[in-house]
Amino acid sequence: MNTTDSTNRLEKLRGNYKLVISNEDTFEEVIKFKLTRLSVYIALSSFFVLMVIFTVSLIVFTPLKYYLPGAGYGNAKQIREYKSLKIRTDSMQTALDQQAKLNEQILKILKGDVMQKDTAALKMPKLENIDQ
């Protein structure tokens, strides 16, 4: 049973078909093709492979790769600019954090939540002889 299915499929693939394109008004045959399922399959597969090769080569060998997001490409100027912007952003974030801490401290002072330190508890530094 298995051999008859495989031979039947092979016969279907190799069976001849005719594709006729004709003029609708005069019914004149404009063009006709003798095709098999196997030849159509091979032609479509080849077309698909060629389109993939063309697309990949277009991306790899032209500047289009710079426009693809996440591809990691970029010229040296863009990379330097990116690093500069990253450093500036980090420093701005640090300055913003420091400003927020300062604002919190000023707000505490204005509310009166600051603990006052006893200055009498501070030790005075020993003065050395000034005469020398």
pLDDT for residue 130:
58
Same domain? For 58 and 79 the reply is no
Model confidence, pTM? 0.48
Shared domain check, 16 and 64: yes
Q: Say whether both 68 and 11 belong to one domain.
A: yes
Domain that holds residue 93: 75-110
Q: Which pLDDT value is given to residue 121? A: 67
pLDDT, tens only, 68-106: 776 666 667 777 888 899 999 999 999 999 999 999 999
Shared domain for 45 and 22, answered yes or no, is: yes
**Whether 94 and 51 share a structural domain:** no
Residue 81 shares a structural domain with residue 66: no
Number of domains in the chain: 2
Instruction: Report pLDDT for 68.
Output: 78
The yes-or-no verdict on residue 6 having pLDDT over 60 is yes
Query: pLDDT, tens digit, for every residue of 13-72?
Result: 888 999 899 999 998 999 999 999 999 999 999 999 999 999 999 988 988 887 777 666
Alpha-carbon distance 44 to 55, whole Å? 16
Q: Is residue 47 part of a domain?
A: yes
CA 95 to chain centre: 31
What pLDDT is recorded for position 7?
Answer: 78
